[in-house]
Structure 1
Amino acid sequence: MSAHATVEDSYQVRRWVGTVEETVHENGPKAGEPLVKAACGVVIRNPFAGGYVTDLSALTEPSAALGTALGTRAVALLGGREPQSYGKGGIAGTDGEQEHVVACITTTFGDALRAAVGGGLAWISSATKTAAPGTPIDIPLAFKDDVYVRSHYDAVTLTAADAPRPDELLICVAVATGGRVHHRVGGRSVAEARAAARA
């Protein structure tokens, strides 16, 4: 069964959302290569909305399929370009709680996301919250092989106008093809990080 089919089978999906942006410059010289950032999300029913339970494994156990499906969709939006950065996050509707989102994006999800974007050595930055429908979320980004590469600290904003409804979760990921356009505040470079990983 494909990851997409597993998501549809394991969670009650209402919709998939996505966005992509391409930045050529930030009030400076035109970049040699534009920065492309993409985000994808899925809106699912929250089975724990409206109450408190201690065992959230029903959200965690099938979440590898979420990581694979969302990662694959996000990479596709880059149009064949290599993803250098990644991030994850989500919003719980107001009848749910932040922990319900966290249960969906733990290590099970993260390892699958890494595989879907072609690997990654660094931990995956994340942001989660509880909010009303239409609330934007800034999904943090960092270089996927070394979180200390300062040029790649960034974010992608994702908004679903009617989600999450009170009994829903919006689970999302983001990827980018490089660091901020015109980054110039120093720190470890991508080349240095890759050399250190090979050593």
Structure 2
Amino acid sequence: MSIDSIYKIRAWHSFVQETVHELGPSPEQPLVKAAVAVVFENPFAGRWVEDLSPLTDASAGLGTELGERAVALLGGRPVESYGKGGLVGVNGEQEHIVACVTTVFGNALRDAVGGGTAWISSASKVAGTGASIDIPLAFKDEVYVRSHYDAITLTLPDAPRPDEIVIIAAVATGGRVNARVGGITVADVTARG
């Protein structure tokens, strides 16, 4: 694991959700959604800092590690969707999360999950310990594939503490079970090359 020392890590959390049936026909394959969260000390908690680049510049290691861990949770199934986000404790600000999940992080996450050309959907918020967050998911090669608009909900019972940041990467093996509201499909994207 090659994560910069600016991130003083306290914990890792892993989540897997496997849906084998919804109303209507059963899917050919279960939909598996997975997310990994890393909890670390916020170096800027409780104070205004103009330059947040130390969080951004070092974030590739986070993107790689979170992506690799999330992919491993899929049990060998390929990634079709991804998302990112995070929580910051009440002594921090939302911008601290955003600084951690910019293009530097995103490019490393894409590489770790086997590629992707679409921008990565994101959510972030200031929260107390035990808060929930919905990490949005979208198709990794074209954000407008409507069948893959989804989310995975995470609750970390012990994070974020007031002086912590939680960064999350999420992946899924497909779109919503029984998606049927039209729009561009995965096959349309694949045919475009």
**TM-score with structure 1 length normalisation?**
0.95
Among 145, 157, 162, the alignment partner of 2:153 is 157
- List structure 1 runs of 4+ shifted beyond 4 angstroms: none
Matched AA of 1:112: A
Following the alignment from structure 1 to structure 2, what is the Cα–Cα distance between the partners of residues 153 and 55? 34
SS at match of 1:5: coil
8 Å CA contact 1:88–1:127 kept in 2: the answer is: yes
Deviation of residue 30 (structure 1)?
1.3
Query: Paired residue for 1:5?
Result: 2
Matched AA of 2:2: A
Q: What do residues 119-160 of structure 1 show as CA deviations (whole Å, max 9, x unaligned)? A: 001000000000001101100000000001000000011111
Query: Paired residue for 1:96?
Result: 92
Among 22, 27, 42, the alignment partner of 1:26 is 22
Once superposed, what is the RMSD of the aligned Cα atoms?
Answer: 0.8
Matched AA of 2:81: S
Matched AA of 1:160: L
8 Å CA contact 1:25–1:182 kept in 2: the answer is: no
Q: Tell me which protein shows more helix as a share of its residues.
A: 1
Correspondence list, 1:171-186, <5 A: 171-186=167-182
SS at match of 2:136: strand
Among 52, 57, 74, the alignment partner of 1:56 is 52
Following the alignment from structure 1 to structure 2, what is the Cα–Cα distance between the partners of residues 136 and 76? 23
Following the alignment from structure 2 to structure 1, what is the Cα–Cα distance between the partners of residues 53 and 13? 25
Deviation of residue 169 (structure 1)?
0.2
**TM-score with structure 2 length normalisation?**
0.98
Q: Which moved more, 1:22-31 or 1:98-107?
A: 22-31
Following the alignment from structure 2 to structure 1, what is the Cα–Cα distance between the partners of residues 70 and 153? 13
Following the alignment from structure 2 to structure 1, what is the Cα–Cα distance between the partners of residues 61 and 6? 9
8 Å CA contact 2:71–2:113 kept in 1: the answer is: yes
SS at match of 1:18: strand
8 Å CA contact 1:17–1:42 kept in 2: the answer is: yes
Query: Paired residue for 2:129?
Result: 133
Among 117, 124, 127, the alignment partner of 1:121 is 117
Query: Paired residue for 1:40?
Result: 36
Query: Paired residue for 1:16?
Result: 12
Matched AA of 1:129: K
Matched AA of 1:59: L
Deviation of residue 194 (structure 1)?
1.4
Following the alignment from structure 2 to structure 1, what is the Cα–Cα distance between the partners of residues 177 and 102? 30
Percent identical across equivalent pairs?
65
Query: Paired residue for 2:80?
Result: 84
Matched AA of 1:80: G
Any stretches of 5+ residues in structure 1 without a counterpart? none
Following the alignment from structure 1 to structure 2, what is the Cα–Cα distance between the partners of residues 33 and 68? 27
Following the alignment from structure 2 to structure 1, what is the Cα–Cα distance between the partners of residues 40 and 129? 13
Deviation of residue 6 (structure 1)?
2.2
